[in-house]
Amino acid sequence: MRVLVDAGFSPRALQARLAAARMAPESIDALLLTHEHTDHASGAADAVARWGWPVVATAGTFAALPALREASRMVLTATSALALGALDVAAVPIAHDAREPVALVLADRHSGARAAIALDLGRAPDDFAQALGPLDLLVIEANHDAQRLADGPYPAMLKRRISGGSGHLSNAQTAHLLGACARVGLGAVILAHLSETNNTPELALGAVRPALRAAGWRTRALHVATQGAVLHPVASAQRDARQLALDL
């Protein structure tokens, strides 16, 4: 089972990025959407029209994307997992300024491998790591360095939105959440959704590494996904690479 999470690019750009990951669009079995914001869903309707992908999202996300009205739709809820072939897809509600945004937890029923994609969190409650559960792979946003955002060129209103409780996680907030996830059980980590203006890979890594070490995380599988390039395939540090891999 091969799924694509979010589609914030045109079909042409999506096809190019999939090609860089050595994947054909026709090999995608379903498109999963975390929420309706442009950088996550602007290419969804055109891609679905072109390749016929079924779409998985919450009812709120579908309501915010009327262009997907004719798509084959499967509705996610926070109360039960949705079965996609051998994958169980669970939704964990998150605090973000969208209609019904979620983090996604994907579990392979054959291998038991588990991956989560948690982007645009706004904030991470104390029980969020428990809600995700033990993970072999975690894609987590590390959007901004708080000081760099405060000193940067964005207008004050946008700075307040980003740093507010329904915006994006800072490096320090991501570090705190990763420490909690490490204590629950954590394999490979990919830091994603880094702002090109308000963050750098070095700042993000410098923030999260000490928190992971303090939580007893000894795995070396810590990666950064940048906006301009496709990350190499990342396999769980705890399982055979053939069982679960992720491209970004």
Look at residues 28, 61, 77 and tell me which one is the last residue of a structural domain.
Answer: 77
Q: Percentages helix, strand, coil for the chain, rounded to the nearest 5?
A: 35, 25, 45
**Across the strands, what pairs with 32?**
5, 56
Burial category of 115 from C-beta neighbours within 10 Å (exposed 0-12, middle 13-18, buried 19 and up): buried
Q: Which amino acid is at 206?
A: G
Same domain, 70 and 136: no
Q: What tens digit of pLDDT does each residue of 28-75 get?
A: 999 999 999 999 999 999 999 999 999 999 999 999 999 999 999 999
Asked whether 237 and 187 are in contact (CB, 8 A), the reply is: yes
Q: Provide the number of structural domains found in the chain.
A: 2
Residue 218 structural domain: 111-248
Look at residues 29, 54, 77 and tell me which one is the last residue of a structural domain.
Answer: 77
Q: What is the mean pLDDT of each run of 10 residues along the chain (248 residues)?
A: 95 95 95 97 97 97 96 93 94 95 96 95 90 96 97 97 95 96 95 97 97 91 90 68 47
- Please report where in the chains the tokens 């946008």 appear, as a residue: 158
Nearest to 229 by CA among 192, 187, 175, 188: 192
Same domain, 9 and 66: yes
pLDDT confidence of residue 237: 54
Q: What tens digit of pLDDT does each residue of 191-211 get?
A: 999 999 999 999 999 999 999
Same domain, 71 and 135: no
Beta-carbon contacts of 160 under 8 Å, excluding residues fewer than 6 positions away, are: none
Nearest to 116 by CA among 128, 127, 126, 125: 128
pLDDT confidence of residue 233: 83
Same domain, 37 and 154: no
User: What CATH number should be reported for the domain holding residue 66?
Assistant: 3.60.15.10
pLDDT confidence of residue 241: 41
pLDDT confidence of residue 219: 82
Same domain, 122 and 235: yes
CA distance 174 to 139: 11
